[in-house]
Structure 1
Amino acid sequence: MPTLHQRLPANAAGRDFIMGDLHGCLDLLRVEMERIEFDPAVDRLFSVGDLIDRGPDSMGCLRLLREPWFHAVRGNHEDMLLDYAYPVTTPYAYSGAGTLLLSNGGRWVLDLGKSDQDELWTDLAPRVAKLPYVVTVGEGVSRFHVVHAELMTGHVDETNTWYNRMDDDWGKPKRVLTDTMVKDAVLAKMIEQITWGRRLIREVESENASEVSTPSGTLLRSHKTWRKGLSLTYVGHTPLKSMVLHASHLFIDRGAYLREPGTCLLVLEHQEVREWLA
């Protein structure tokens, strides 16, 4: 059974960085790590998931999982890979995710040579299977969460009237979690929401958001910036033209794999982000 929630202490020796969806773009990460002068002896790097697919070097990105300074959560692309590899033994994988892998940038798994195939299935895929869905770092005002898509209960398709009529509280859209609700018993019921959800970002309308300039680009702050009781939560999943802060969720996927003007790989330092938002 995969880990649902991992807790880590605050980094007392160095800095904590959080990056957006990598999607096989290891070269872009190397550029960013040089820019920030990343020190693997004391610094840590957190990923919001989707290390693989679409970009040129999914294997190189998966090899990051061997590094003691690297911490990732599972995204929908990791779940698609695992469901493709272990369709019977992956209890929390999104139903049918394996069939989606090849049509969502995952054909690289078919193009690997024997040595890379062996490395993927005997070493790297088992590491992916051990990744948590949520990482929580630190305590108090400096606490932050890392998750792929969103921390919200309810069905990911709010147009599904059958779910909307359910008496079960978890079937009713929608309820943004608080820190005290981030526990295995809750998360086990909302894996699809954690990895695939886009309801929160769809709530944000640019005309109702305030634009703020930051050292890492434009930040849109919604009129519902914070969810009371939920610490800052870094998420990706949805490529955006700028960062967005809504309901304590900071959306940081800037579509790096597209390699087009206006896209980039965001690597943010948590303490600096706290200073922007103060």
Structure 2
Amino acid sequence: MHKTQSFTLNKIGRDFVVGDIHGCFKLLTYLLKKTDFNKSADRIFSVGDLIDRGPDSIDVMDWLQEPWFHSVRGNHEQMLIDCVSGNGDIARHSRNGGAWLYELPSIFQQKLSDTLQNLPLIIEVELTNGRTIGIVHAEAPLIHNNDTWQNAKDAITGRLGETYERLALEKALYARNKIENQDEALIQGINQVYVGHSTVSSVTCLGNAVYIDTGCSFDDGALTIIELNTQANISVSMCTV
């Protein structure tokens, strides 16, 4: 069964969401300095794809141990999990930035896989004024056109059966239907949903879905962070550090 995770209102600090990091944790560190991130009060949530392509993928374990850093699972985490379990395509993973993994001892590969497999597929965060936002890697896993955010959670956690769970997992990790169709339909039952996976030149809204993967790890890309209550965003380009 795949899990979701909910976070109550942060009463002492700020909450941020960050786009696909892809092993560029030094760039994320720079961003946190720019936002005056307070590790004792603030929290940061990631839309997944923490690893591959960038130079610091090995640091993912350290970040995931921080009590203020939280992430959903992305398709690159899923590729690692599948390959370590013997069910994935190692050559494909390597071509997509995962070659670093196979230079590591098998015992550490397994430790990484176990940690990443424990990541939720969906995160919810309570904000001020009674608002709640959702975070999922690629797209809200809505199986039917009239599905709500609650239906998506029920599907991903297996409450609607194995078939729907499998479909929901595929959508959550890989789907691009909404952005390819420029679908402005609102996702019912949630105020906003933050996603990555599909690269955009700047933060892009479709209905109440917010796309924040601005191409980190690509030469012309950037890493973007958004303060959830104010919607203020900061981007830093790959050439910054």
**Superposition TM-score tier, normalisation by shorter sequence:** 0.7 to 0.9
Give, in whole Å, the separation in 1 of the partners of 2:173 and 2:213: 14
**Where do 4+ consecutive residues of structure 1 move more than 4 Å?**
96-99
Equivalent pairs: percent with the same residue?
33
Give, in whole Å, the separation in 2 of the partners of 1:36 and 1:14: 12
Give the number of the structure whose alpha-carbon radius of gyration is greater: 1
1:230-274 CA deviation, whole Å, 9 max, x = no partner?
A: 3200000011112111132100000010132xx210011100128
Size of the aligned set, in residue pairs, is 224
Unaligned runs of 5+ in 1: 89-95, 154-169, 205-221
Q: Which residue of 2 aligns with 1:259?
A: 219
Amino acid at match of 1:37: D
Q: Which residue of 1 aligns with 2:190?
A: 230
Structure 1 position 200 matched with structure 2 position 158: no
**Is the CA contact 1:10–1:137 (under 8 Å) kept in the aligned structure 2?**
yes
Q: Which residue of 1 aligns with 2:120?
A: 132
Amino acid at match of 1:195: L
Amino acid at match of 1:175: N
User: 1:70–1:60: structure 2 CA closer, same or farther, 3 Å change rule?
Assistant: same
Q: Which residue of 2 aligns with 1:79?
A: 78
Q: Aligned with 2:229: secondary structure?
A: helix
Alignment of 1:211-230 (within 5 A): 224=184, 226-230=186-190
Q: TM-score, normalised by structure 1?
A: 0.73
Alignment of 1:178-197 (within 5 A): 178-181=148-151, 182-183=153-154, 184=157, 185=159, 188-189=165-166, 190-197=168-175
Q: Aligned with 1:107: secondary structure?
A: helix
User: 1:64–1:12: structure 2 CA closer, same or farther, 3 Å change rule?
Assistant: same
Q: TM-score, normalised by structure 2?
A: 0.84
**Is the CA contact 1:59–1:120 (under 8 Å) kept in the aligned structure 2?**
no
Amino acid at match of 1:188: E
Q: For structure 1, which segment, 174-183 or 231-240, has the greater mean C-alpha deviation from structure 2 after superposition? A: 174-183
CA RMSD after TM alignment? 2.4
Q: For structure 1, which segment, 182-191 or 125-134, has the greater mean C-alpha deviation from structure 2 after superposition? A: 182-191
Unaligned runs of 5+ in 2: 234-241
**Is the CA contact 1:54–1:105 (under 8 Å) kept in the aligned structure 2?**
yes
Q: Aligned with 2:45: secondary structure?
A: strand
Give, in whole Å, the separation in 2 of the partners of 1:24 and 1:255: 12
**Is the CA contact 2:226–2:232 (under 8 Å) kept in the aligned structure 1?**
no
Amino acid at match of 1:129: Q
Amino acid at match of 2:41: V
